[in-house]
Amino acid sequence: MIPERSGVTSEVVLFGEARVEALSTVRVRWFRNARSVVDLAARGQIGALVLDARSPEGFYDAMELLRQLFDDSRNPARTLHPGRVIALVADGDTDAAFALGRYALACVLASKQLGTLAAQVDRVRSTLFGAPPLSLEGPLRTARVSPPAPGEEPTVAIGFRHAPETLSLLDRYVRALRERERECPVFGDVATLIDVLVSEGLTCQTNLATKAGAAHGGQYVGSFAFYRELRRTRYKHIVDPPNHEVDLDVWIVVDEVLHEVLHLLYLANELRATIAPTHTHVAEELSASWWQGAVHSAVFPSWLGDRHILEINYDFLLCEPNAEPSHFWKVGSVFEKYAGYPWVPYVLGKLPARASYIGARPDLDRLEANLRSRPEAAFLLAESRHSLRVDAPFDGYPAVPETLRVGD
């Protein structure tokens, strides 16, 4: 497929059981037959497609249309860019939002957001997209909601659009890390993974209960309102950047992305470098926290170069009630349970071949000394020393500022 040309017909198409009042000011062609919509897409005549999935029947029909548009193995060349599709779901129907969002649509709107529908249609119709992405052996955007164990929340892997400001900051990280990748291979591999995840419209695992909203038209997970809450709690010691060049809500989204990307590198140790993991989940979490600090410091050395950047996950890690539900003492990579998702080996396959991809944090002795002074961390040290160590051979550590260390 070639990129769209500016002369393409830009019709607005509604697919569903009934007309939508919020589109009364827009000239719309209304269809209830999926084949008709597929034919219009094949002729390049759809500028914006609105799927009304607010009822069970509407959701079923919308999913069937998306399968015909994007998952038809007889037609691997997609005729409509998923960024031209807007889906409507009932308020609070996160299951429908995630199922539809797996295709990386332009946005998924809840019923209470119908007032923005006409503006979203205008935005989509006026956007010129590149060629529709091809499928990989299956859907490019995969999602799976896993049945939770007793007392656990369900998890989901999903791909959907990032907010423009998030994309801009992620691009800044990629460029800065590329400049320093000779210093540390982790910098280059993090840049590669972020680049692939963004360009392919993919993301990493997210907790359905705490980070999912019904509308996914803007954020990596959840909403900026969610990150404002984190700003008051987990990130309260991170000061504003000099000259306020970065919005803290946006930076927190990037920090979440970075944390999951680092977990992917620990999984790459196993899947790409065939290093059998012998470390526990808590050891990986503690080491990933150090690498987060090292990456942030590499991008913003004058802002994110002190111990606070190493401690942003302490509220979770130094909390004994989290230990058992989070399987802290389980041996294996944190992302191991997602290894079978089609997007995971695809993304990791973009990394260069290495003997190992990431190692333990280099300041483990200092960290353990610090934890001994914290009563809330006693449960971590009650386990064997092996519990806090990642046994992966690695010698490509970066130079970090002297201030980037745990407290005494």
Indicate the domain borders of the chain: 11-126, 160-388
Averaged pLDDT, 9-34? 88
| Rounded mean pLDDT, 89-105 | 77
Given this model, what pLDDT does residue 181 score?
Answer: 95
Give the residue-averaged pLDDT of 138-151. Answer: 41
H helix or E strand, kind and range, residue 52: strand 46-52
CATH number of the structural domain 11-126: 3.40.50.10090
Q: Is the pLDDT of residue 330 over 80?
A: yes
At residue 6, the pLDDT reads 46
Q: Where are the alpha helices (DSSP H) in 49-105?
A: 56-70, 94-101
CB 216 within 8 A of CB 108: yes
Model confidence at 163, pLDDT cuts 50, 70, 90, reads: low
Q: Which of 115, 57, 113, 124 is nearest to 84 (CA)?
A: 124
- Write b or e for each residue in 246-268: b if 16 or more Cβ atoms lie within 10 A of its Cβ, otherwise e: bbbbbbbbbbbbbbbbbbbbbbb
pLDDT at residue 224 in the model: 55
**Amino acid identity for residue 199 in this structure:** S
Q: What predicted TM-score, i.e. pTM, was given to this entire model?
A: 0.61
